[in-house]
Amino acid sequence: MTPVDESVAPANRRSRNVLVTFIGAFVRSFDNWMPIAGTIDLTGQLGLDSASVRTAISRLKKRGWLEAENRAGVRGYRLTEHALEEFAEGDEVIWHAREPARLEDGWCVVTFSIPESARTKRHFLRRHLTALGFGNVSAAVWIAPARMQAAAGKAIAELGLAEHCAVFVGDYAGGQDLRALLVDAWDLDELQRSYQSFLDDHAAGERERRPEEMDGREAFVTYLGILDRWRKLPYRDPGLPREVLPAGWNGPDATARFERLVEALEAPALAHAARYWPAT
């Protein structure tokens, strides 16, 4: 996991986010390599300008995700092993919706006391834990289902904060009502609204053209837009046990809608993108 660079302007941040979605959805399907010109043309169909895309590519190169490589006389970049590992980890969340954890497996609790001199790393750790699906119990206490122990340990190690953190795994033994504690730790109502918004915006055939009615370009733009919007939601969903979820939890319905859209749009979107790769 890579910390978010808050110094990036919003427009450039959007270009970077869309580019990451593009790479995850398409570049890996084309031998982990992308042509520069083709990438700019395709992302331009999403409304991104070439300058911001080139800046986003440069930033990913500096982060060790891309290496320059020409193929068939065409300038381009290939994905590094580091990038492939990062995408593989993301796939586990984005493409394989978190099944509700088992209540009897218990909880992972992370606490930390990070000095002010390392406040930037403290900020990054909070962002890491949030992205992993941890909820904030208090200023320096975070909680998630027990299965997130390994991921929390990795995030802490990546930031070199092991000596400032402690990780516990155990059962809820009593005290404050567990459901009330978890509602306070996560904004589950907001997440439920986000899922409902996705369902409403992609109501089957009601507010948008059906996939089978789209040409290749429209399928590509729609598919990538859906992926870019969706990939943020699973990271916010902690996969809590069913016993503690709010009534009428709509996460499974939204996931099923997303999977149906992917099934309908992926093939024509890939076929459209393939036209921008050099023939081999």
Is residue 1 situated within a structural domain? no
Give the per-residue pLDDT at 43: 95
Domain shared by 269 and 192, yes or no? yes
- DSSP track, 51-87: HHHHHHHHHHHHTTSEEE--BTTB-EEEE-HHHHHHH
Q: What is the pLDDT of residues 198-216, one digit of tens each?
A: 999 888 654 556 767 789 9
Query: Do residues 155 and 1 lie in contact, with contact meaning Cβ atoms separated by under 8 Å?
Result: yes
Rounded CA separation 237/239 (Å): 6
Give the per-residue pLDDT at 11: 55
Is residue 74 situated within a structural domain? yes
Last residue of one domain, picked from the residues 93, 125, 156: 93
Q: What is the pLDDT of residues 236-256, one digit of tens each?
A: 888 899 899 888 999 999 999
DSSP annotation of 136 reads: E
Total-model pTM: 0.80
Q: What is the pLDDT of residues 212-229, one digit of tens each?
A: 778 999 999 999 999 999
Domain shared by 204 and 267, yes or no? yes
Is residue 257 situated within a structural domain? yes
Please say if the pLDDT value at position 29 is more than 80.
Answer: yes
Domain shared by 147 and 217, yes or no? no
Please say if the pLDDT value at position 60 is more than 90.
Answer: yes
Rounded CA separation 188/18 (Å): 26
Query: Do residues 268 and 214 lie in contact, with contact meaning Cβ atoms separated by under 8 Å?
Result: yes
pLDDT band at 182 (very low <50, low <70, confident <90, very high): confident
Query: Do residues 140 and 113 lie in contact, with contact meaning Cβ atoms separated by under 8 Å?
Result: yes
Is residue 181 situated within a structural domain? no
**Which structural domain range is residue 112 located in?**
107-170
Q: What share of the chain is helix, strand, coil (3-state, %, to 5)?
A: 60, 10, 30
